[in-house]
A and B are shown apart, each in its own frame.
Chain A
Amino acid sequence: MMTLISILALSAVGAVFGGLLGWASKTLKVAGDPRVDELEGMLPGGQCGQCGEPGCRQAAEAMVAGKLGPDCCPPGGRSLAQSISSMLGVALSGDGEDVMVVAHIDESQCSGCTRCFKACPFDAIVGANRQMHTVIRHVCTGCRLCEKACPQGCLSMQPVAPELHTWQWPKPRVA
């Protein structure tokens, strides 16, 4: 008898709480994830598409959904990946330092077609029609959009060489 009562009582408690949870999940549902907006604000907003998504908004959605890793945004670099991973609570895979690249125009080959600077979401390329173009190196984020746009093949991505004030101490190698 006691056994039966306990089983019944526990089942009843289970049913009540189960119902409560089910009700709560329906009525208290939040439309959309507020983190998407926040994340979108953190992204560079160049809509460069290097992450594989059509734009930064979609990338933010994919990251919140867990489809993309926090390090999917090359223009944002390591520091963006770190702040995204801490915001989403996702572990950042790998410890490698990323290699920064910037666009470089081989000026002897440039025909002045203006396609690269029209493609640049950051206005990091200056030039005019039929004039030689050049890259403002400290503005370029290395998003590679211009590389695809160039019909001459004279635009390449080059790694940024460290300078005295940007050189980083290596982490000590410890047994």
Chain B
Amino acid sequence: MLGLRKKPFSGGIHPRGHKELTENTAIVSSEEPRRVCLSLQQRNGVVLRSHVNVGDTIVKGQLVASGPNDMCVPLHAPINGVVEAIQPHVSAHPSGLKTNTLMIKGNGDPTWGIPHVPCDTSKLTPEEIIQRVLDAGIVGLGGAGFPSGLKLRFARQKGVKTLLLNGGECEPYLTCDDRLMREKAAEIAEGAALMVRAIGCEQAIIAIEDNKPDSISTMQSAVADRPNLSVQIVPSLYPMGSERHLIKAVTGHTVPPGQLSTEIGILVHNVATAQAVFEAVRYQRPLIRRVMTISGGALEQPTNLIVAMGTLVSDLIARCGGLKMEAARLVAGGPMMGQVLPSPFVPIDKSIGGILALSADEIRAEQSHDCVRCGRCVNACPMGLMPFQMAAHSRVSDLDGARHFGLDNCLLCGACSYVCPSRIPLVQYFQHARSSLNASRTMERKSAHARQLTEARQARLMREAEAKKAAKAARSKTRKRPARTPRKKADSTDSTPTSN
């Protein structure tokens, strides 16, 4: 409290961990789901094209949908079964909007439809590794959901020197990365080595928070015989999992606002992504399942599960023994930055790291009061912003004022809301301000476009009028010439309307 312990960055908070619910039980492989739902639209609005039709029989690992470019990763069938329908279904987005969704009914057979034999990874070129990562449909498993293959390719072009593997897992409740590091340390290390080769960088550092001693020791022994891999312990402080803050804690460098970490020669990937990269490169297995923490005080048996993509949240809750008390909210992700689920029938997608069924006691939702300007949010903000000012300006829709106090740099990490004694929903103000800022930018672009179009139209109409005139003039000319000889009267009557 008195700043006696050196913090790697200013701000940040120590939320109650609740990790004891799941950290000491091994990852359980859940049985094949009866039904999976794969949304054909990505969060950024891009629509994927389905390669299968209703009634088709598909096998586990088969490519079922792909996007127009590399920015959208391909979708693979997570189970063996039959395409039941392609229809709108609720997606894992707080709005609860329905997106076109591929529904697959499973037949319970857990075998891969396509054999995945291990290959000798040492013979692969960097571009082959990147292509395999892209083909496997791997996205950042930490939550951002950016295609990992693109990140690798970009880092290679930028000449990145250091790969940082994020084992911070600073969100309360979530222990899936922790368990993965304990149980699959060798695979993570191998995945990290593959990514190092793909980027062509010098080293990979696996950063782990100091509240995960078992992970630290397992990872340390896994990288012992790899000279370009190392493990670094970072203090546990929320939001350590944020890319910029992890870089500061590990290397001491800061990424200037508005720039990417590759500018200073660092690329950050999640440890779970490294494990997925290993599977994708070694076995050419697509990303169709991930480890996920199913936890929360309202849940009977909090567990870390291996979950097939597209499994419904309701199935996962049932798998974990169901609810033992009334849940106040279902949350996808951690309690700090996770999004509230609009329905229990939401399917899991690649960027969800956990499902929490939180009781009212855990959420502690209370009536909010006026801001007393206590400044706790300013002290807690890891980005050095002034959240209470941003919220006050957002409340009256003064978006420029909100940007003056840092709206554009906000991580939406929620540290400010967590400490606010007046319970002001700061993050929601920022979300609201961000989305209305986006909307007004789109609107501006649209009206600029509309202005161009009207100008173009006016020019076109003028051109057309001119052309018509010219054509008519030309026509009257051609008529005039033969008319020179006998019938002069008729010609003059003809030419009068042309002048109009």
Q: Which residues of A contact B (CB under 8 A)?
A: 44-47, 75-80, 82, 95, 97, 121-124, 138-139, 141, 162-172, 174-175
Known: A79-B447, A141-B446, A167-B95. 11 other contacts (CB 8 A): A44-B447, A44-B451, A75-B450, A78-B439, A121-B453, A141-B450, A165-B44, A169-B428, A170-B432, A171-B432, A174-B368
Q: How far is the CB of B189 from chain A (nearest CB, A)?
A: 36
In the complex, are the beta carbons of B443 and A163 less than 8 A apart? Answer: no
Interface positions, chain B 449-470, Cβ under 8 Å from A, are: 449-451, 453-457
Q: How far is the CB of B84 from chain A (nearest CB, A)?
A: 23
B26 at the binding interface (Cβ < 8 Å): no
In the complex, are the beta carbons of B43 and A80 less than 8 A apart? Answer: no
Q: In this complex, what residue of A is CB-closest to B453?
A: A122
B425 at the binding interface (Cβ < 8 Å): yes
Interface residue from B429, B442, B457 paired with A172 (Cβ < 8 Å): B429
B435 at the binding interface (Cβ < 8 Å): yes
B109 at the binding interface (Cβ < 8 Å): no
B424 at the binding interface (Cβ < 8 Å): yes
Task: With a 10 A CB-CB cut-off, give which of B99, B424, B440, B454 has the most chain A CB atoms.
Answer: B454
**Interface size on B (CB < 8 Å)?**
43
Q: In this complex, what residue of A is CB-closest to B396?
A: A95
Which chain A residues border B424 with CB–CB below 8 Å? 174
Query: CA of A28 to CA of B95 in the docked complex: distance in angstroms?
Result: 57
Query: CA of A79 to CA of B440 in the docked complex: distance in angstroms?
Result: 5
A-B contact pairs, 7 of them (CB 8 A): A44-B454, A46-B454, A77-B443, A79-B439, A167-B95, A171-B429, A172-B429
Query: CA of A124 to CA of B447 in the docked complex: distance in angstroms?
Result: 13
B148 at the binding interface (Cβ < 8 Å): no
Q: How far is the CB of B93 from chain A (nearest CB, A)?
A: 6
Secondary structure at the B interface, as helix, strand, loop or mixed, is helix
B232 at the binding interface (Cβ < 8 Å): no
Interface residue from A121, A139, A168 paired with B432 (Cβ < 8 Å): A168
Query: CA of A123 to CA of B458 in the docked complex: distance in angstroms?
Result: 10
Query: CA of A167 to CA of B97 in the docked complex: distance in angstroms?
Result: 9
In the complex, are the beta carbons of B93 and A164 less than 8 A apart? Answer: yes
Query: CA of A172 to CA of B207 in the docked complex: distance in angstroms?
Result: 37
A-B residue pairs, 3 tightest by C-beta: A165-B45, A79-B440, A169-B431
B157 at the binding interface (Cβ < 8 Å): no
Task: With a 10 A CB-CB cut-off, give which of A123, A162, A169 has the most chain B CB atoms.
Answer: A169
In the complex, are the beta carbons of A169 and B432 less than 8 A apart? Answer: yes
Which chain B residues border A138 with CB–CB below 8 Å? 446
Query: CA of A167 to CA of B446 in the docked complex: distance in angstroms?
Result: 17
Which chain A residues border B95 with CB–CB below 8 Å? 162, 164, 167
Which chain B residues border A162 with CB–CB below 8 Å? 95, 97
Interface positions, chain B 59-114, Cβ under 8 Å from A, are: 91, 93-95, 97, 99
B24 at the binding interface (Cβ < 8 Å): no
Interface positions, chain B 407-460, Cβ under 8 Å from A, are: 424-425, 428-429, 431-432, 434-436, 438-444, 446-447, 449-451, 453-457
Interface positions, chain B 14-60, Cβ under 8 Å from A, are: 41-45
Secondary structure at the A interface, as helix, strand, loop or mixed, is loop
Q: In this complex, what residue of B is CB-closest to A121?
A: B454
Interface residue from B45, B368, B454 paired with A175 (Cβ < 8 Å): B368
Contacts A163-B45, A175-B368 given; does A80 touch B447 at CB 8 Å? yes
In the complex, are the beta carbons of B456 and A123 less than 8 A apart? Answer: yes
Which chain A residues border B343 with CB–CB below 8 Å? none
B367 at the binding interface (Cβ < 8 Å): yes
In the complex, are the beta carbons of B453 and A80 less than 8 A apart? Answer: no
B131 at the binding interface (Cβ < 8 Å): no
Q: In this complex, what residue of B is CB-closest to A138?
A: B446
B319 at the binding interface (Cβ < 8 Å): no
Contacts A46-B454, A162-B97 given; does A168 touch B447 at CB 8 Å? no
Query: CA of A162 to CA of B369 in the docked complex: distance in angstroms?
Result: 31
Interface residue from A44, A97, A169, A174 paired with B450 (Cβ < 8 Å): A44
In the complex, are the beta carbons of B440 and A78 less than 8 A apart? Answer: yes
In the complex, are the beta carbons of A121 and B457 less than 8 A apart? Answer: yes
Q: How far is the CB of B140 from chain A (nearest CB, A)?
A: 18
In the complex, are the beta carbons of A164 and B447 less than 8 A apart? Answer: no
Which chain B residues border A97 with CB–CB below 8 Å? 436
Which chain B residues border A175 with CB–CB below 8 Å? 367-369
Which chain A residues border B434 with CB–CB below 8 Å? 169
Q: How far is the CB of B267 from chain A (nearest CB, A)?
A: 26
Q: How far is the CB of A126 from chain B (nearest CB, A)?
A: 12
Contacts A45-B454, A78-B440, A171-B432 given; does A165 touch B43 at CB 8 Å? yes
Query: CA of A7 to CA of B27 in the docked complex: distance in angstroms?
Result: 96
Q: In this complex, what residue of B is CB-closest to A171?
A: B432
Interface residue from A75, A80, A141, A164 paired with B97 (Cβ < 8 Å): A164
Query: CA of A138 to CA of B395 in the docked complex: distance in angstroms?
Result: 30
In the complex, are the beta carbons of B397 and A139 less than 8 A apart? Answer: no
Contacts A166-B442, A169-B431, A174-B424 given; does A122 touch B45 at CB 8 Å? no
Which chain B residues border A121 with CB–CB below 8 Å? 453-454, 457
Which chain A residues border B394 with CB–CB below 8 Å? 171
In the complex, are the beta carbons of A79 and B425 less than 8 A apart? Answer: no
